[in-house]
Homo-oligomer: A and B are copies of this chain.
Amino acid sequence: MADLAKVAGVSKITVSRALSDSPLVNRETRERLQQLAHELGYKLNVSARNLRLRRSHTVAVIVEMKPSHDRTMFDPYPLVLLGGISQELTAHGYSVLLTTRQGATAAAVQAADGLILLGQGSRQDAVRRFDKLGLPMVVWGAPGDEHVVVGSDNRQGGDAVAEHFVRLGRRHPVFVGNPNHPEIFERLTGFVDALAAHGIKPLLIRRDEFTLASGMDAMHSLMDRGVPFDAVFACSDLLAMGAIRALNQLGRSVPGDVSVVGYDDMPLAASFLPPLSSVRQDWQEGGTLLARKVLAMINDEPEQSETLPVELIVRET
């Protein structure tokens, strides 16, 4: 910038002002300097600006990146979340610094203006650790603690599926999933509560993985035990698909004998045979909201937790 100033025969502060479109400089000078900067290939030194402004215009997104047998950040869905975040932040001139929990000790995170935590659901300890950084922070997940949390309404999801089953006259529903995960616990809670209102108590089949194989396995163990059931609420679409396949193999028809509902409404769900009923979450919108809240907090506006509605998509199962 100093060089630019010398070449143009003005002071560097004038260059600075010109390049940031300050109305303080004459329009003519401003345009001349911008033109010159462009010609000379001038590149702003962002570190210097960050130092002076005490802002990095960067938000750190911290994801859980465990190996893939559990629900991880690298499932397709949570990633749409990241897409929403990125889009919203970019639109406001902010950048996304992507980190894992391990990488979060790296220096760059401390330079961030704010923090978004994804997929930390079950680790309150991690959340608290990042809270200590004293940065504006928003967490994706189930509400209920002292932080600003954005999440989709898992309880409502469970509730909707319960009502759906009841309407269909199902009396012996099963829930498949891992209730240790806070978000899934919410689904279970909504499910159980809504059913209780109709005097029904569902069965819980605990399965930790979100795979097709796990869904099949769940149905097999259920049939082996000889427990009667006529509806399955699986907390992921893959689990649901596995369940349907196993049920067919075992001679039970879907949806004739058993109704099945999945969760997430992945694109494949609609083209599954038979087309899978599922609960849809708007991840993109969730990402946008997360981003909006951090930005607001960075600008010292108070924010609070918020829950996004979900939608039960009834297809043929």
Would you call A65 and B83 a contact (CB within 8 A)?
Answer: yes
In the complex, chain B residues whose CB is within 8 Å of the CB of A43: 110, 133
Per assembly, the copies of the chain total 2
In the complex, chain B residues whose CB is within 8 Å of the CB of A83: 65, 74
Would you call A211 and B48 a contact (CB within 8 A)?
Answer: no
> Chain A, interface size: which category?
35 or more
Among A47, A74, A103, A133, residue most surrounded by chain B Cβ atoms (within 10 Å)? A47
A108-B46 contact in complex given A90-B99, A90-B100, A212-B268, C-beta closer than 8 Å: yes
Would you call B98 and A96 a contact (CB within 8 A)?
Answer: yes
A108-B56 contact in complex given A65-B83, A90-B99, A90-B100, C-beta closer than 8 Å: yes
Q: Which of A219-268 contact B (CB under 8 A)?
A: 238, 242, 245, 267-268
Would you call A95 and B90 a contact (CB within 8 A)?
Answer: no
Quick one: CB contact mask for A98-122 with B, threshold 8 Å, 1 for yes?
1110110011111100000000000
**A51 an interface residue at 8 Å Cβ cutoff?**
yes
Quick one: CB contact mask for A179-215 with B, threshold 8 Å, 1 for yes?
0000000000000000000000000000000011100
Would you call B273 and A245 a contact (CB within 8 A)?
Answer: yes
Taking CB as reference atom, which chain B residue is nearest A109? B95
**A277 an interface residue at 8 Å Cβ cutoff?**
no
**A76 an interface residue at 8 Å Cβ cutoff?**
yes
Would you call B76 and A80 a contact (CB within 8 A)?
Answer: no
A287 to chain B, nearest CB (A): 11
* C-alpha gap A102/B94 in the complex (Å): 12
Would you call A48 and B49 a contact (CB within 8 A)?
Answer: no
In the complex, chain B residues whose CB is within 8 Å of the CB of A76: 74-76, 79
Of B47, B65, B86, B94, the contact of A47 (CB 8 Å cutoff): B47
**A45 an interface residue at 8 Å Cβ cutoff?**
yes
A107-B57 contact in complex given A74-B79, A97-B96, C-beta closer than 8 Å: yes
Would you call A47 and B50 a contact (CB within 8 A)?
Answer: yes
- 5 smallest CB-CB distances across A and B, nearest first, come from A90-B103, A46-B111, A95-B108, A47-B50, A47-B51
Known contacts A94-B106, A95-B97, A238-B268; 6 additional CB pairs below 8 A are: A50-B111, A57-B106, A57-B107, A61-B98, A86-B100, A95-B103
Q: Which residues of A contact B (CB under 8 A)?
A: 43-51, 54, 56-58, 61, 65, 68, 74-76, 79-80, 82-83, 86-87, 89-90, 93-100, 102-103, 106-111, 133, 211-213, 238, 242, 245, 267-268, 271, 273
List 19 A–B pairs whose Cβ atoms lie within 8 Å, in order of A's numbering: A44-B107, A45-B51, A47-B54, A56-B108, A57-B106, A58-B108, A74-B83, A75-B76, A76-B76, A79-B79, A86-B100, A89-B103, A90-B99, A95-B97, A95-B98, A98-B98, A211-B267, A211-B271, A212-B268
